[in-house]
Amino acid sequence: MELIRCHIDNFGKLHDIDLDFKDGLNIFLRENGYGKSTMAAFFRAMFYGLPDGEKAGEAENGRKRYSPWQGGVFGGELCFLRADKKYRVERRFGRVKSEDSFALFDMENNTASSDFSEKLGEELFGVDEETWCRTAFARQQDVSWEVGSGIHEKIGSISDMSYDMRRYAEGMEKLKDEMNALSPNRRTGRIFQLKMKLEQISTDLESMSDMEGKKFVTDSRLRQTRWRQTELKKKMEETRGKIKAAAHYQEMLSLKMAYGQLKDARDRTGDEAREAERKYFEDYRPSFPEDGRAARMREDGQELNARFRNGFPSEEEIRHAEKIFSRAGFLIERLRLSVQERESDGRKGILLSCVLLATGLFLLICAIVFTRANSSGSSMGAWIYILALLMLLAGFLILTYGILSSRNRWQLWFKKSGTGKNHSRMSEEDMKNEAERLSRELDVFLSRFYELPHSQSEAERRSTRGRFLRKLGRDGMRWHRLTAISALEKDYESKSKTLEKFESEHNPDEFLRMEEPGNQENIDKLSESLQVLSGRLNELEDEILAGQEESNQLRIKMQELYSQEVEYELGMEELQELENRHALLVLTRDHLAKAKENFSRDYRNPLMESFGRYYLAFLGTEAWDKDAEMIDKTPFRMDEDFNLQPVYEGEGRDLSLLSEGCRDMAALCRRFAFVDAMYPGEKPFLILDDPFVNLDQDKIAAGLCFLREISKEYQILYFTCHESRA
């Protein structure tokens, strides 16, 4: 399309300006501050309208900026040619968008046209306002620009293309992030982590079969051990039974023995009693009939008990009584003998004394005679004197003794008896008194038990005493025997009761009829055996406890594994889902890259062709064929992001390696190459606002040459403020 003319009513500083445009290059040499930018903004506003409000990024093109200072409506008209049809667009702008007006006229017949709407720019150029600004409008500061992502912000690539490429770059970043987040290879990737986790679970689960086998073996062993325990318990029970039986047998045996002993003791006592009884009667009542013996014994017992109601004299008493009886008897006998002896001794003494005296006298006479016969004093005569004197003395003493002893009852010398009792010599009076005393004592003793007759002579009484003493002895014997018999009978009774009690407490039939068990084992051996079994049982119980613990632990582990099994199943589902997503992302990435490659290639080739053409035009080259050779002749290449790279020795290099002038030229060529690519059909007009301001003089010439070339295809509105660049 082509601009024909325009009229600016009010637009910023521009007021009532008319401009005519021709095909090709339109050079506008205006001083600085003329309003070239404002004019460019006017053209933009005529095609794209003005935005409403003051949004960010629109400060340059805002409604407020270009509204006339004096206020009021501003705008203008613009006539253009499109597809061989001329149009006139009128736009007026108010304070707000609702106050704007738009009118399109067919210039041929000056009638309103509906061929285009208010979105004139989009419909005419097929790009949005921003893109059109970036392509169709080159400002002076934009000639040279940094190659890189920022360049898209300044001049963009190709309208939607640059937008798409930006979106592509951002999208690929997001896709890359998502793929990394899911990555099966990165440690931080969910798929990797999930696989690791599932592998771990799978490894654990692999052990499940072994673990189940192990549990099976453990349970089998446990079962076997329990079975052995049961058998062992049975055996122990058997052994205990045997021990019990043996102990019972022993007990019965003991009871049997004890019973036997009790019975024997009782029987023995019974026999003793009967024997004692028999002997009693044999000794004391030999002809007493068998019947009534018991009664007789009772009577005898009663009699003797009555007699000895105060107690039977002790053996000492009896011995004492016997002793005093003997002593009394002895004394009496001794007295009699003493008297007899005394009298005999007296007689003997007197006789002896007479003999001694006579002899003494004889000797005395002899002595006298001798002495007289022997006047020499022989000793013989002395000795005869002495002897005669002695004999006289002795005879005198004996005479005296004889006389005295026949008169005095001196105590007699008693030889020591076998009892060790010293008896001192007593007088006959003493003996008599002693005998009487002793007799009285004996009487008193005997009268405790017997009634002694009173009128009796001493001899009779003595005989009676002796008799009663003997009776006492016999009675005592009888009494003792009866007492013994009674004791035996009591003992028998007691033993019978004991036996009865035993019989009532135990069942004699049981142990009496008990048979000795065959193969009876020794209790000690059985106990020892039981101890061994008990030890083994403890070991088995420990084994069982350990086995149960192991089985429980395995069961717990298996339960964990079963939980993991579920986790594994769910994890596999999740993994499948994530892998599907990852695969989709890979496909998306690959296809997006392919699309971008195609896309950029579709634009890049023509871009390079265009670039080549413009570059050569800049260099003044006349070859103007749009064939592939043009690309080869340019020492540049374009990467996928449409960034230029100078080629040195077959390698693409950074654009910064070029001089500023070459860089600017290349950038400008590139821009126009983009424009070529963007507008393959209806060519837009281009507004260049002093794009060569930074070029040195020789480059400016090239630039102008370049402009002339491109103006062959494009209507160019070239604004400059310096003649050197016009």
Site map (CB under 8 A) of other proteins, residues 123-162, x = contact: -------------------------------------xx-
Contact between 86 and 110 under an 8 Å Cβ cutoff? The reply is: no
Within a 13 Å sphere around the CA of 126, how many CA atoms are in the beta-carbon half?
Answer: 13
Determine, following the binding rule CB under 8 A, whether residue 236 of this chain makes contact with other proteins: no
Q: Which stretch binds other proteins (CB under 8 A): 86-94, 462-470, 589-597, 630-638?
A: 589-597
Tell me the two tokens of residue 175: 């896709």
Determine, following the binding rule CB under 8 A, whether residue 221 of this chain makes contact with other proteins: yes
Determine, following the binding rule CB under 8 A, whether residue 545 of this chain makes contact with other proteins: no
* Residues listed for the chain: 726
Instruction: Indicate left, alpha or beta for 305 from its phi (over 0: left) and psi (-120 to 50: alpha).
Output: alpha
Determine, following the binding rule CB under 8 A, whether residue 216 of this chain makes contact with other proteins: yes
Crossing angle between the packed helical segments 660-678 and 129-136, to the nearest 10 degrees: 130
One DSSP character per residue, 96-145 reads SGGG-EEEEEETTTTEE--SS-S-HHHHHHSS-HHHHHHHHEEEGGGSS-
In the chain, the amino acid numbered 488 is L
Question: Measured from the CB of residue 236, what is the shortest distance to other proteins in angstroms?
Answer: 16
4 to each of 8, 106, 127, 447, how far by Cα in Å? Answer: 14, 13, 21, 195
Determine, following the binding rule CB under 8 A, whether residue 683 of this chain makes contact with other proteins: no
Determine, following the binding rule CB under 8 A, whether residue 598 of this chain makes contact with other proteins: yes
Determine, following the binding rule CB under 8 A, whether residue 209 of this chain makes contact with other proteins: yes
Question: Measured from the CB of residue 1, what is the shortest distance to other proteins in angstroms?
Answer: 19
Contact between 230 and 222 under an 8 Å Cβ cutoff? The reply is: no
Q: Which stretch binds other proteins (CB under 8 A): 165-173, 280-288, 348-356, 621-629?
A: 165-173
d(CA 492, CA 104) in angstroms, rounded, equals 161
Looking at the Cβ atoms of 127 and 669, the one nearer to other proteins is 127
Determine, following the binding rule CB under 8 A, whether residue 411 of this chain makes contact with other proteins: no
Single out the residue of 1, 172, 366, 452 in contact with other proteins (rule: CB under 8 A): 172
Determine, following the binding rule CB under 8 A, whether residue 168 of this chain makes contact with other proteins: yes
Question: Measured from the CB of residue 532, what is the shortest distance to other proteins in angstroms?
Answer: 23
Q: Write out the H or E segment, with its range, that includes residue 288.
A: none
The three state secondary structure string of 202-256 is HHHHHHHHHHHHHHHHHHHHHHHHHHHHHHHHHHHHHHHHHHHHHHHHHHHHHHH
Determine, following the binding rule CB under 8 A, whether residue 605 of this chain makes contact with other proteins: no
Looking at the Cβ atoms of 73 and 585, the one nearer to other proteins is 585
Question: Measured from the CB of residue 145, what is the shortest distance to other proteins in angstroms?
Answer: 22
Contact between 620 and 213 under an 8 Å Cβ cutoff? The reply is: no
In the chain, the amino acid numbered 341 is E
Q: Which stretch binds other proteins (CB under 8 A): 11-19, 39-47, 217-225, 713-721?
A: 217-225
One DSSP character per residue, 442-484 reads HHHHHHTTS---SS--HHHHHHHHHHHHHHHHHHHHHHHHHHH
Contact between 502 and 257 under an 8 Å Cβ cutoff? The reply is: no
Question: Measured from the CB of residue 119, what is the shortest distance to other proteins in angstroms?
Answer: 18
Looking at the Cβ atoms of 206 and 660, the one nearer to other proteins is 206
Determine, following the binding rule CB under 8 A, whether residue 448 of this chain makes contact with other proteins: no
Crossing angle between the packed helical segments 159-182 and 129-136, to the nearest 10 degrees: 110
How many CB atoms lie under 10 A from the CB of residue 88? 19
Looking at the Cβ atoms of 161 and 297, the one nearer to other proteins is 161
Determine, following the binding rule CB under 8 A, whether residue 226 of this chain makes contact with other proteins: yes
d(CA 252, CA 255) in angstroms, rounded, equals 5
Question: Measured from the CB of residue 541, what is the shortest distance to other proteins in angstroms?
Answer: 12
Looking at the Cβ atoms of 143 and 575, the one nearer to other proteins is 575
Single out the residue of 69, 362, 383, 562 in contact with other proteins (rule: CB under 8 A): 562
Looking at the Cβ atoms of 217 and 532, the one nearer to other proteins is 217
Determine, following the binding rule CB under 8 A, whether residue 591 of this chain makes contact with other proteins: yes
Single out the residue of 30, 97, 174, 440 in contact with other proteins (rule: CB under 8 A): 174
Question: Measured from the CB of residue 257, what is the shortest distance to other proteins in angstroms?
Answer: 44
Q: Which stretch binds other proteins (CB under 8 A): 20-28, 90-98, 436-444, 577-585?
A: 577-585
3-class secondary structure, 29: strand
Looking at the Cβ atoms of 65 and 589, the one nearer to other proteins is 589
Looking at the Cβ atoms of 212 and 682, the one nearer to other proteins is 212
Single out the residue of 563, 656, 659, 697 in contact with other proteins (rule: CB under 8 A): 563
Q: From the CA atom positions of the chain, what is the Rg in Å?
A: 85
Determine, following the binding rule CB under 8 A, whether residue 215 of this chain makes contact with other proteins: yes
Single out the residue of 123, 170, 271, 524 in contact with other proteins (rule: CB under 8 A): 170
Looking at the Cβ atoms of 162 and 711, the one nearer to other proteins is 162
Looking at the Cβ atoms of 355 and 558, the one nearer to other proteins is 558
Determine, following the binding rule CB under 8 A, whether residue 102 of this chain makes contact with other proteins: no
Give CB contacts under 8 A, 24+ apart, made by 97-103: 97/49, 97/50, 97/51, 97/52, 97/63, 99/73, 100/49, 100/50, 101/75, 102/49
C-alpha dihedral sign at 164, 165, 171, 172: positive
Determine, following the binding rule CB under 8 A, whether residue 558 of this chain makes contact with other proteins: yes
Single out the residue of 96, 373, 386, 570 in contact with other proteins (rule: CB under 8 A): 570
d(CA 274, CA 482) in angstroms, rounded, equals 12
3-class secondary structure, 79: strand
Tell me the two tokens of residue 563: 């939980």
The site for other proteins (CB under 8 A) is made up of 160-161, 163-165, 167-168, 170-172, 174-175, 178, 209, 212-213, 215-217, 219-221, 223-224, 226-227, 229-230, 558, 562-563, 565-566, 569-570, 581, 584-585, 587-588, 591-592, 594-596, 598-599, 602
